[in-house]
Structures are given as structure tokens and as C-alpha cells.
Structure 1
């Protein structure tokens, strides 16, 4: 229910913002990087260990609107974000296995930020919701691996931006408030996943 309330709030702001005279809208694309290091532990139980092998850059695209109020502006966005992470799986049994697997995600990201502007420089703070649309994992093919994903994840945003003609450049820091998933299961072993890495985001927007 909380997820739907957040999505509805963002959509209402997007649609109702058309009544304002000082409003802009445009396309947005960018890249992002999670604060994940090679060797970070994802799963460790008895004879099986899964660690981060490589976290590739994520890519996103979508659109934004900005409503300028007397002191601050409100900027909701709708973004489609894809990312991919590879993991190392080590199984210490009579037949040892050390293999790299890949996992891909497609999320619907809903940032909502409030900011101030001085000349062409902006600062902002806000919140973001990640709604998982699809995911594929090579880990599912081995060891009865299962991951129960959360329906939505939330975080907060801090940003610094620049307005240059019709271009909008933003550097954002995201701190996640919830973990990747509720739990990870390999065989009969189930562990809670408490990884909630931060993220650095670079946005380039084009005002229409």
C-alpha cells in the first residue's frame, strides 16, 4: 500500500503541475554506480559463498517536470533504470566450484526532489522509490538459488545541479534505506540480505 501511495503522489504532482505558469519538462538520461566492491559478501553459509565480482554502471532514461514556486522548486521524475551485477559463487564440497554469474535488473525509479536555485546553480534534497519490473539471474540455474525481492525500495537523495541553456546537469548521491531483497536462499539455507549500498548518479536532461 505504501508503494502505491508514493507512486500516486508522484503521478499527481506530474499531472497537476501543468496548472503552473513557471513549469518546465524534458527528457532525462544518465548513468549510476553502486558503492559495491569486489569481494563484498552477499551470502555465506556452510559450504557456499557468494560475493560481488563486478558491479557495472547502471543506465536510465525517462522524463522530468520542474515546478518553480516562489522560494523552491519541485521536481518529480519517472525513470527506467537497468543495471547488471556479476557474482562469484564458491562451493567448497567434494566437487569444488568457482564460477561467475550475472544478474540483471530493470526498475521503475520515481525520484521526487525539492531544491533551490541561485543563478545557474541548484541544490536539492528528496526521496526516491525503486519498483522492480523484471530481473534475470544465472544464479537461478544452480544450487536451488532463490531471492525474494522487495516490491519497492526507498532512499533519500542529495544533489548539486547546473542549468546551462536547455541542458540540466545533476550530480546526485543516493543513500538506500532498504536492502536489496528480503532474503536469499541457497538450497535449504536462508539468510537475510542486509546490503543497502549507496549510489552515485549523473543526470543529463534536455528541456523541451
Structure 2
């Protein structure tokens, strides 16, 4: 989509080989779409902003997103996480019908390392899409009275389904859970699958991600 910047954020806690595969896949998927990475260690990915070792928390995630949005100059922004695989169509090519809404992609599945099965995620913000100015206005509203960084502050923005507009497509986003991430367990629905469109079998995907 023209007029879009991808905001990639990471705490750099994942193992280097794994996260490099995530980054390589992302670059291949988005092509020449502008990319800003906001990291806690310097990385070579698009335009990089390193914020230092501020720690992993929901509060810090949104601060990193805010920093990326402030750097971007495009009309729209969308997020990419350091433990997610994004499909070639359906997410990055979305055209928001409302510029005063924050959208979240609902076709998101969890793959726990070693589980060999996909589980439908109940709700996720690992794939959000919004006009840059609107998202910045919401971020500023909830973060302005809070410390710049915090490991203890609660989730600061758009709790659960409130404030988000859902959208979806047939190709899923895969959120991969490892022991190195911010949290191991996450909410899932009672829906499981061994194969998914585009990604194929869970076990085969695991082999690609963690092959030495």
C-alpha cells in the first residue's frame, strides 16, 4: 500500500537466529514499503531507532510504537512484532475506510514452540493498522502523564476490544511463542489447526524457524 510505513518493534530478547528469520521474512514481504525499527539494541533493519535496554512491558511497547510513529511521515502506519510472521496479502495492503479508527487484524494464530499445532488467538494487537495522526493522538492521550519507560505500569491503551475496529482476510498472521518472549501464555480460542493457508503445516513451519 502506498503511503504506509511499517513500525517494527523489538526488545531484542529473542534468540538472534530466530529473530533474524523473522526480519528476513518481513523485508521480503513488504518490499519497498518504508520500514522503521524501534529496538532496545542497535539492529540493521530499515531506519533504526535504538532506545536502549529499557526492558519488556506493554507500556514500553506502546512507547516504542509512539517513537516509530513520530519518525514516520506517511499517512498510515502498521505494526510488526519481532515474533510474528505476516502474510503476503491481506494485512500490509489493507486500505482503511475510516481515518479516525485504529484497526486490528483478527486472523491471528499462535504457534507455541514445540507444540506442532496452531491455536486461534482470542485477541491480538500484534497486527494493528491506523492513520498515523490518529494513532499518535491516542498514544499521546494515554502516555503523556506516565513515565517515559516503565516495567510496572498496566497495559496503557485500547484494552481488549474497546477502541479497536476489527478487520480480517483469509491469510493468517502467525504469532510465535518462545520462552524468550514477554509472555509465554496468551489467550486463545478453542480452535486448533495443524495446517493453515499459505503457511502449511505447523510442524514444518517449526522446522524452518528453528533449523540449525
Do they fold alike, i.e. is TM over 0.5? Answer: no
Higher strand share: 1
Higher helix share: 2
Higher RCO structure (Cα 8 Å, ≥6 apart): 2
Q: TM-score range by the shorter chain?
A: under 0.3
CA radius of gyration, larger in = 1
